[in-house]
Chains A and B, each alone.
Chain A
Amino acid sequence: MAKKPENGLLIDYEYCTGCFACQVACSQEHHWPAGMGGIQVLEIVQNLPKGKAYLNFLPFPTELCILCFPRTKKGLEPACVQHCMAGVITYGSLPDLAGELGKKPRMVLWSPR
């Protein structure tokens, strides 16, 4: 059985602007080639009634996300967290982040692999 996850990433997707800083920060930190990395930003165009639409971006931690443990053990934030231009990614323990999750809508808590 896999080890129980302890830490995660809380995303406030209300304010993710789709700047892709997290993706490139991850590639730089972990030397991933283009097209691979620990986080991927998805564009979601939602159809709403009356022909309207709504635009969202959503950072998603991939199978390659290691929550930047070499950084966090030195007391640094994960590369994506530090560089996120909109400041929408929070790293922490899952129970702490779960507490944050209830404070405003349009959030998602990821517990990567």
Chain B
Amino acid sequence: MNSENVHIVPTTTWSAGPGCHGGCGVLAHIKDGQLIKLEGDPNHPWNQGRLCARALAMTQYVNHEDRITRPLKRVGKRGEGKWEEISWEKAFDYIEKKMKGIREDHGPESIIFSMGTGRDIGPWICMLAYAFGSPNVMFSLSGSACYGPRLSACNTFQGCYCVFDAGQWLPDRYEDPKFKLPETIIIWGYNISATCPDNLFGHWIIDMMKRGTQIICVDPRLSFFASRSKHWLQLRPGTDAALAMGMLNVIINEDLYDHDFLEKWTNGAHLIRIDTGKLLREIHLEAAGDPGNFVVWDENSGTPAIWLSSQAEFKALNVKAALSGRWEVTLADGSRVSCRTSWDAYCEAVNKYPLDKVAEITWVPADKIRKAARLYAKSKPAAIQWGVPIDMTPAVTPTCHAIASLWALTGNLDIPGGNVIAKFAFDAVSYALPGAVGPIGLKDKDMDAKRVGVKEYGPYRTFHWRAQTDMTLDQIFTGKPYPIKGMWIQTAGLLNGIGLDPKKWKRALEKLDFIAAVDLFHTPTTQYADILLPAATFLEKNGVRSWWVPLQTINKAITVDQCKPDVEINFELARRFDPEFKYDTINKLFDDILKPSGMTFEQLQQKGWAIPPVSHPSAPYHRHEKGQLRPDGKPGFKTPTAKFELYSTHREDWGLDPLPHHEEPPFTPVSRPDLTRNYPLILSTGRRSPAYFHSEHRNIPWLRQLDPDPIVEIHPETAAAHDIGNGEWVWMENWLGRCKMKAKVTRIVPPWMVMAAHGWWYPEKKAAEPSLYGVWECNVNQLLPMGHQGKDGQGAPIKHLLCKIYKAVGKEERNG
């Protein structure tokens, strides 16, 4: 290749293109304004020159003949696939008129802003919704069951999120003397090397395995990690909390936990009233007491002592808080009440899970659980990395609580090689995620009162800043408590990816007065839009990537016809909707996001990326000891008690069980033996493909060739019992619907489970209904329900439904 006239633009992958949560440093080779090659940047601390299949296929993506390159207005009926090109000016005018009309007639909250997987679209969709005046930004998956619930759960009892330490906060990574290699990592429901979810580079775990880290793998499926693990815990999907409780049982009863952490940094000593079963609070002891202060039993004085939560210290001096015991305490009205410690209540909860019972629930042999628990607890340091299956069950928060207790009680929180508290580098936040507040927010709190789910669900009220998805869908049909009239859908596949029960979503879309969609290609979902705007890939835009570390810029390398970056589209409309919109240029918006870093967009762009110095509160380690986690600078965690809460005060306030526990999901052989008679197999969905990000990339030849068909994995015994051969087309069916996939007969899955790929549609098929790109044939979400979110509104049954399988016959024996 002639290197003349080729210039190289260094940039950061995030958003459309590879589709992932990004972070890779790449070098875009540009000739005559065209991308001719994309390579990994060998000098980048994140990926060191490595790059995934999806990013390496970008030359086939950017100039793909099916890219939408001009704004399109629908001319036929919804789903008919008829469009005409219009100018950007006309498109903006039309959207402005339609949306302002709905705002005037029904209020701004009657338009929902729907997003798919959270990438750099997150901040810009919030910016647009909030400028319009609607609090209803909806992450469009049932129960928001991807990442948000894990963030939210960690906020609940730990104050901040945390991730495995791969030295990512240190420029020299594994070689930095401050870093310590984890002796053991538990990979919990995570095939992290197939995609790079959760703002991590999956292969960092491989880097550490090569250096000696051993693996415990929790997965019903034989993944790469399961094959190479010291212990593989092949659990029944949806029983993760029981497994974690069993491991805690071993660790506590064999005295393998960190006593110092328990005493100093948890609320184990806080007293619980026997009469109410709730926390004893200062207000119970003194009428003028603070309900946010709690009480311990002081062994030195033999009296109760007050814990001042907001000051993270005891009211009295020299308090020695008892961790176990039962005492009589005199209340403000003179009555006496018996109390015990949270730690005693916690241990009681854990003791409800002896290993024989856990084995019965999880289908993992007791001995394996015991060995894995011992190995994890004795490895110093050790880390746990969990994946999206944790969100994809209704009892996500109690599950997270159990797993997080493991890293807390073994003293692995925010230590080198453990689970490090994850904060945005330099505290520069672009994205209103659970727990995070950046410069993009609603203008005043009152506007938030109408957000769907705020009244019903504690986490949504407290720090999960999204509209509750299942309730939103219902509200489109009921119009109660207020009508929903329009939807802004930006790179979200309600019918082909993120939406469960997609036919219900289709009926919902049909009911709306106005739908605008923004995407790069037509999808089944875009067929229901009234207007469709062409978005840009990461190579066609400037941007900021602020997610954990490093802080990075995305740098524009090319332009493709009239495609516009999401930020530009939303910026223009935000200005039209909000006369007081506070930015006049996009660079000023970027500067505002980057302000905490002390750098402007241009300055950061010069550097490319920045890692906060070790002394910065957004860099590890031991920040609870140094007073770097709480806004008040006190030691401890950013929770209501300043402690890691073994007993969750938030959950108590929300009327939910404050202790970790297992809840049997709604559709399993255990909870629904009646359904299991007709649908005997566990249907799990969503195993990752390195070729695709969710519903994207089926039209990219190099990638499609790697994984050409929608695959259902079936164990050889199960396949034989159903007379199904490898490569044959089969139907999966349950009481909600059916879909057709190609059988891969493999020992990767157990005989009692089938694993179906998600996000499938056929871009090569006809757009117009009834084909709708074949989505009704191959989208497995037709077998998954909406409306089964967890008790706190988060989590949904996605990894554990039931189904039967049978061979496709006659004309159906092929795709189409």
Contact = CB atoms under 8 A, between A and B. Distances in A.
A14 interface: yes
B193 A17 contact: yes
Contacts of A29: 37
Contacts of A56: 227
Interface in B200-238: 202-203, 206-207, 209-210, 222-224, 226-228
Contacts of B223: 55
Contacts of B202: 17, 85
A99 B53 CA distance: 30
Contacts of B686: none
Interface in B101-138: none
Contacts of B49: 82-83
Nearest to A47: B747
A90 interface: no
A34 B708 CA distance: 11
A17 B206 contact: yes
B40 A82 contact: yes
Contact of B51 (A18, A25, A45): A25
Interface in B152-174: none
A30 B52 CA distance: 17
Contacts, number: 105
Interface in A22-54: 23-25, 27-29, 33-35, 45, 47, 53-54
- Most chain B beta-carbon neighbours within 10 Å: one of A14, A34, A45, A53: A34
Given A47-B747, A82-B40, A28 B56 contact: yes
Contact of A45 (B52, B210, B748): B748
Contacts of A15: 206, 209-210
A84 interface: yes
Interface in B669-695: 690-691
Given A14-B228, A20-B706, A35-B705, A83 B56 contact: yes
Given A28-B56, A54-B227, A56-B227, A45 B746 contact: yes
Nearest to B38: A28
Contacts of B690: 18-21
Contacts of A70: 1
A95 interface: no
Interface residues of A, number: 31
A42 to B, nearest CB: 12
Given A25-B56, A53-B222, A82-B40, A19 B193 contact: yes
Contacts of A18: 193-194, 224, 690
Nearest to B689: A20
B50 A21 contact: yes
Contacts of B37: 28-29
Interface stretch (B368-376, B649-657, B696-704): B696-704
A65 B462 CA distance: 57
A51 B782 CA distance: 33
A15 to B, nearest CB: 5
Nearest to B706: A20
Contact of B207 (A14, A28, A34, A87): A87
B59 interface: yes
B42 interface: yes
Nearest to A48: B747
A86 interface: yes
B224 A17 contact: yes
A29 to B, nearest CB: 8
Contacts of B227: 53-56
Contact of A55 (B203, B704, B705, B748): B748
B57 interface: yes
Contact of B59 (A20, A21, A28, A34): A28
B222 A85 contact: no
A24 B747 contact: no
Nearest to A14: B228
Given A19-B690, A34-B701, A55 B50 contact: no
Contacts of A53: 222, 227, 747-748
B53 A24 contact: yes
B140 to A, nearest CB: 28
Given A15-B209, A17-B224, A87-B207, A82 B39 contact: yes
A83 B25 CA distance: 12
Nearest to B690: A19
Contacts of B194: 17-19
Given A29-B37, A85-B52, 15 more contacts: A17-B202, A18-B193, A23-B702, A24-B703, A28-B37, A28-B57, A28-B702, A34-B702, A53-B747, A53-B748, A70-B1, A85-B193, A85-B202, A85-B203, A87-B206
17 contacts: A15-B206, A15-B210, A17-B203, A19-B690, A20-B691, A21-B50, A23-B53, A23-B702, A24-B702, A24-B703, A24-B706, A25-B56, A28-B37, A82-B39, A82-B49, A85-B51, A87-B206
